[in-house]
Amino acid sequence: MNIGFIGLGIMGKPMAKNLIKAGHKLTVFDIVQENVDALKAEGAAAAASPKEVAEQNNLIITMLPNSPHVKAVILGENGVIEGAAKGATIIDMSSIAPLASQEIAKACAKKGVKMLDAPVSGGEPKAIDGTLSIMVGGDEENFNEVKGVLAAMGASVVLCGAIGAGNTTKLANQVIVALNIAAVSEAFMLSTRAGVDPIKVFHAIKGGLAGSTVMNAKIPLIIEGNFKPGFKVDLHMKDLANALETGHEVGAPLPLTAQAMEMLQYLHSHGAGQDDHCAIAKYYEALAGREIRSI
């Protein structure tokens, strides 16, 4: 299938590469030429604008930082909507506010263009190996038409409801991940301060009720002091900001999310915004005056 792909950052680049590996022909666009060149080396064609991407493809995927970027790329000058033919499908795989997805989809519908919101979870490692969890919102018929394409990038592809439901599900995911990282950071600081080796604590509890995918992925990195970004603090801040905004709009109390947001804001203000979100551990290290490391 001929597919347009816009947004080749930490997540978008490996996702696009997996589509090529699955046999699809890609036309790509990104504001960073180095990212475009990396996909051209894999066999993709390059376009000069989102409009040009849409002119050449009836299926267009976007993977961008936040709501304003998606609106600009899809609805703005030289945007996707200007080049998309009636009946084309846009899959926005960015993590944005659900109401923004609904607003963009409504504008697209006026021109006969279909849209799904399909944010992902799993970070860079799962983007690379094609095992992302993909949460989709939109019309079921449209979903079924593109499910096979999404499956080339993810191990789990689930239709969660109407447009916006994918991003609502992603916000719930991001709340759980942030609070889980905070919880394990707090617990492992306790063990470290008490003189118990955190790596032994990890092996002792990972198979019990306290075990989690988040703990398995992040605690080894924290203990190593490895905060190379798989998913950045600043991006998680964006997601929690969208969660808090959505919670206010629908009347959902999110007091723990608000506290996690303050931790991320601290990290951002102290130069760790580009670190992996497991750098939440640095917040506890700053408070305790000690790193979480093997004893």
pLDDT at 230: 83
Q: What is the pLDDT of residue 197?
A: 97
**Cβ–Cβ under 8 Å, residues 235 and 203:** no
Q: What is the residue-level pLDDT of the chain in tens, covering all 295 positions?
A: 999 999 999 999 999 999 999 999 999 999 999 999 999 999 999 999 999 999 999 999 999 999 999 999 999 999 999 999 999 999 999 999 999 999 999 999 999 999 999 999 988 889 999 999 999 999 999 999 999 999 999 999 999 999 999 999 999 999 999 999 999 999 999 999 999 999 999 999 999 999 999 999 999 999 999 999 988 999 999 999 999 999 999 999 999 999 999 999 999 999 999 999 999 999 999 999 999 999 8
Are 62 and 6 within 8 A, CB to CB? Answer: yes
Check if 111 is active-site. no
Count of residues making up the chain: 295
Residue 285 in tokens: 């290290």
pTM: 0.90
Q: Where are the alpha helices (DSSP H) in the chain?
A: 12-21, 33-40, 50-56, 67-75, 80-83, 98-109, 123-129, 140-151, 165-193, 198-205, 213-224, 233-250, 255-269, 280-288
What per-residue confidence (pLDDT) applies to 202?
98
Torsion over CA of 241, 123, 161 and 258, rounded to 10 degrees?
-20
Count how many Cα atoms sit within 13 Å of the Cα of residue 250 in the half-sphere of its side chain: 12
User: Active-site residue among 17, 51, 126, 170?
Assistant: 170
- Give the per-residue pLDDT at 190: 98
Inter-residue contact 81 to 111 (CB < 8 Å): yes
Q: Give the per-residue pLDDT at 295.
A: 85
* pLDDT the model gives residue 123: 86
How many Å is the Cα radius of gyration of the chain?
Answer: 20
